[in-house]
Amino acid sequence: MEKAGTLKKRSQLQAIWFRFKKNKLAVFGLILLIILVGLAVFAPLLVSYEEDVIAQDVYNKMQGPSAEHIFGTDHYGRDLFARVIFGGRMSLLVGILTVVISLCLGAIIGSSAGYFGGVVDNVLMRIMDIFLSLPQTIMAVAIVAALGAGLQNLIIAMVVASTPWFARVVRSTVLSIRGQDFIEAARACGTPHKRIILKHVIPNSIGPIIVQATLEIGMAIMSIAALSFIGLGIQAPTPEWGSMLSEAKSFMRNDPNLVIIPGIAIVLSVMALNLIGDGLRDALDPRMKN
Amino acid sequence: MNELLQIKNLHVVYQTDEETVYAVNGVDLNLSEGETLGLVGETGAGKTTLALSILNILPPKVGKITEGSILFEGEELVGANEKLIREIQGNKIAMIFQDPMTSLNPLLTIEDQIGEALLLHRKELSKDEISQRVEEMLKMVGIPPERKKEYPHQFSGGMKQRVVIAISLACEPKLLLADEPTTALDVTIQAQVLHMMNQLKKELKTAMILITHDLGVVAEICEKVGIMYAGEIIEVGSLEDIFKGKDHHPYTKGLFGSIPDLNSDVSRLSPIDGLMPDPSALPEGCKFHPRCPNCWEMCKTTVPEYVDLGNGHKIRCHLFGNQNGGGGI
Amino acid sequence: MLKFIGKRLLMMIPVLIGISFIIFAIMSLTPGDPARLILGEYVEDEAIQAMRDELGLNDPFFQRYFDYMAGLIHGDFGVSWVSDLPVLEEIGSRIPTTLTLAFIATAIMTIVGVPLGIVSAVKQYSFLDTLCVFSAFILASVPSFWLGLLLVLLFSLTLNILPATGVDSWQNFILPCITLASVMMASLLRMTRSSMLEVVRQDYIRTARAKGADEKRVIFHHAIRNALLPVVTLVGLNFGNLMGGTIIIENVFAMPGLGTLILNSLYVKNTPVVMGGILFIAVCISIVNLLIDITYSFIDPRVRDRLKG
């Protein structure tokens, strides 16, 4: 029985991977993301943080692309390529971190609300509704501004702002699975709650939630960049795509590269995540594809 | 002979990115004016597809007629221009769909939806005349006319099916395609709806193709019966021939064998072994041969032709074909 | 209908109380003394103490919250701790800029996004469809503030045809509105398209075709209204996000709007102004969502019935 279960599970994953593989755009997104993550992870091997990212070299400021500096240099003469890949470290790390934390918190809140129902559901979800009635940007801005700019506060703000959203997604997914006939069937057979949750509810709801989380990492990267852009996120001289854009804004007229290149880095990573998310959604539920 | 509908060698496929489904594979069918044909077969035998092809509403881009012809009142419908098809749709040929719950537009009043066919095909009618006709239709199907301003969600399932029937009969079509009009309904409502359809058919002298897998329903209102299997009509004949005759396609025998009969002493049902073939990978030769108890070599390689046993009773099976050399239609 | 609107307005009250509590808590319980932040680092402690007394900062948290709410009930939004101007006056002077931005951007997003989504679905796989899907996809991956910078780079710095900053004339609003609308438009276009594709597969569309309705009638009479239902909801949702986005966009284009005011007040913990500004935004969003629900009930008889019952 157990063995049959795991076998079926593996073949299901294989089927999903097979469908995902057939989707060229999704595969492109995956490759793109692997490259971006690879650059971020191995950034210290490629360039030196102290020399290329932080140390100023004002005699060589705002140089165009050259063999030595493939994207050119910024207004302090720092290598733009080095700053972009170290910036990616920050953006991707914070993006993934906030989504993972808020997903876990949201899953706890959402699944308790969805599973216990009644008063618990009402109280938890009314509180979440209050958070959700304000735009996420305003909530995050308010928190990080009150706490003071910085990496840790930025993560706290992002987590508080996006947890209610995840709670709602998880809750509605759990509810929709719970209402389905095969759960009724399992219950009618006398299957214990724990087994229903572990064997039926979680495996069936995890797919859509992973899809949402993937898409949400992209959104988080954009929000983090936006917060840093208005001076609330990661502080100079630590490179982060949003704060780099904020600094570059004043030099835009003389050196558009400083604005264009970090922006493209954001767009590429968000796009990669969106492609993967869409591809996963189609692979999980082929009927939804049109 | 006043043939209303003549279908010859009709082939329909559904083509998607992943596979090609052979839904209808060489159907021949004739229907006279006012005649009722019961089309019987398992789910997936291609009954609905056949009806959708006649009305030219196969799913756009996916469903295609690849071969064959459909003559309606002597006019070719396969590949006909859009004007002719629109003129026939809902006017001379109408269809009752299987699921009344989803067949009505939730945002339009039932008056709108019943009157639409009139609006499209009876251009000479004024608004008031259409409204009046809608009321008549509602009365005919047993819905109080004052409910015409209501929306589908305000009606029960049986009532919705009456609305669907009223829509299809609004223009008094020559041919009515009824796709399992009662499967979605309660048994008591089923009887009411069938009775009503029977009455209406007689009143309006409409020919009908009734798609069902309920042989009881067929016995009640059909004059002719066609048995469909894997996209083919494997046997067709009068109600007498099919229900009381001796000669049958092995599938037909199996089909009747799987119905409980209170009058006979048989202790067990005799269902057909196996499943219908996957329509995207049909077997060679006779499509029934993998399940057929009478299968022989020829069945595995050669597609049987129709054999006429007289009086329009035709069977597509090699058991009958060899004595007159696999004759035509 | 009036009963429904009344009920919805009443339901806004607990949400607004909840928001006020959360924001007040964020402002009061986080480290950082407003008096110090407002007066600066080099002011003597006595002056700070005096200001804390004056602003009531030495009172316990709940007392301060209830004092604030008591004022609110009497229509008193308090006085800005920085400028000493009444909060309503300060906010009032900023509202036109922000609301103009938000409403024009919503209009652009809807007027362009929805029809394009419909055409895209009707002509699925055509060149136009591919173009729409592709641009919507790219736009969905573009952060709004960066798009704003690019537009400034192109139209202000390179072509020199539109102003980059300020609110002096209507031309100042062109770039910010386009920026805000574009990013939101992407989601609207995608939603409209997929909703339309979903609707044309429904049985009732087949029923309409079976009646002999031509393509035009099928689309305009049967499909569009059904397809618009989820789209209407998304317009409301996007309006909320758009209001949030103004904080960032006003910063990019240096526009003295409500967002900028809130942001500047947040830095120094100017609580009355932050509270007033955020509550105003919350009320705006609630009202727009109420309007959306009313629109919804005009389109969908099922919703209309539920409101009556």
Q: What percent of chain B has pLDDT over 90?
A: 41
As a whole number of angstroms, the distance between CA C137 and CA C134 comes to: 5
Q: What pLDDT, on the 0 to 100 scale, is given for residue A287? A: 56
Q: What pLDDT, on the 0 to 100 scale, is given for residue B264? A: 61
Query: Could you report the predicted ipTM of this complex, rounded to two decimals?
Result: 0.89
pLDDT tens digit string along C102-156? Answer: 999 999 999 999 999 999 999 988 999 999 999 999 999 999 999 999 999 999 8
Q: What pLDDT, on the 0 to 100 scale, is given for residue B326? A: 41
Helix, strand, or coil here: C116? helix
Contact list in B for residue C201 (CB cut-off 8 A) is 59
CB proximity A252 to C under 8 Å: yes
Distance from the C12 Cα atom to the nearest Cα atom in chain A, whole angstroms: 10
CB proximity A136 to C under 8 Å: yes
DSSP class of residue C156 equals I
DSSP class of residue B209 equals E
List the single residue in C141, C245, C247 with the smallest CB-CB distance to A274: C141
CB proximity C33 to B under 8 Å: no
- Mutate one of A134, A139, A224, A259 to test the C interface: name it (highest C CB count within 10 A): A134
CB proximity B77 to C under 8 Å: no
As a whole number of angstroms, the distance between CA C273 and CA B90 comes to: 65
Q: What is the mean pLDDT of chain C?
A: 91
Interchain CB distance below 8 Å, B117 and C211: yes
DSSP class of residue B305 equals P
DSSP class of residue A189 equals T
Distance from the C215 Cα atom to the nearest Cα atom in chain B, whole angstroms: 10
List the single residue in A245, A256, A274 with the smallest CB-CB distance to C140: A274
Q: Is it the case that residue C61 has pLDDT exceeding 60?
A: yes
pTM over 0.80: yes
As a whole number of angstroms, the distance between CA C11 and CA A137 comes to: 24
Interchain CB distance below 8 Å, B87 and C212: yes
Instruction: Give, in order, the Cα–Cα distances in Å from A109 to each of A5, A52, A115, A217.
Output: 29, 44, 10, 20
Q: Angle at which helices A136-147 and C271-299 pack, to 10 degrees? A: 170
Cis check for the bond before A203: say yes or no (omega within 30 of 0). no
Which amino acid belongs to residue C169? S
Name the residue with tokens 């609004």. B170
Distance from the B177 Cα atom to the nearest Cα atom in chain C, whole angstroms: 11
- Here the tokens at position C187 are 């989601």
Q: What is the mean pLDDT of residues B124-150?
A: 91
Bridge-based pairing of strands B207-212 and B232-238 is unpaired
pLDDT tens digit string along C246-301? Answer: 999 999 999 999 999 999 999 888 999 999 999 999 999 999 999 998 888 888 99
Q: What pLDDT, on the 0 to 100 scale, is given for residue B325? A: 43
Q: Is it the case that residue B266 has pLDDT exceeding 90?
A: no
**Per-residue b/e over C31-50, b at no fewer than 16 CB within 10 Å?**
eeebbbebbeeeeeeeebee
Contact list in C for residue A263 (CB cut-off 8 A) is 142-143, 146, 149-150
List the single residue in B55, B107, B154 with the smallest CB-CB distance to C210: B55
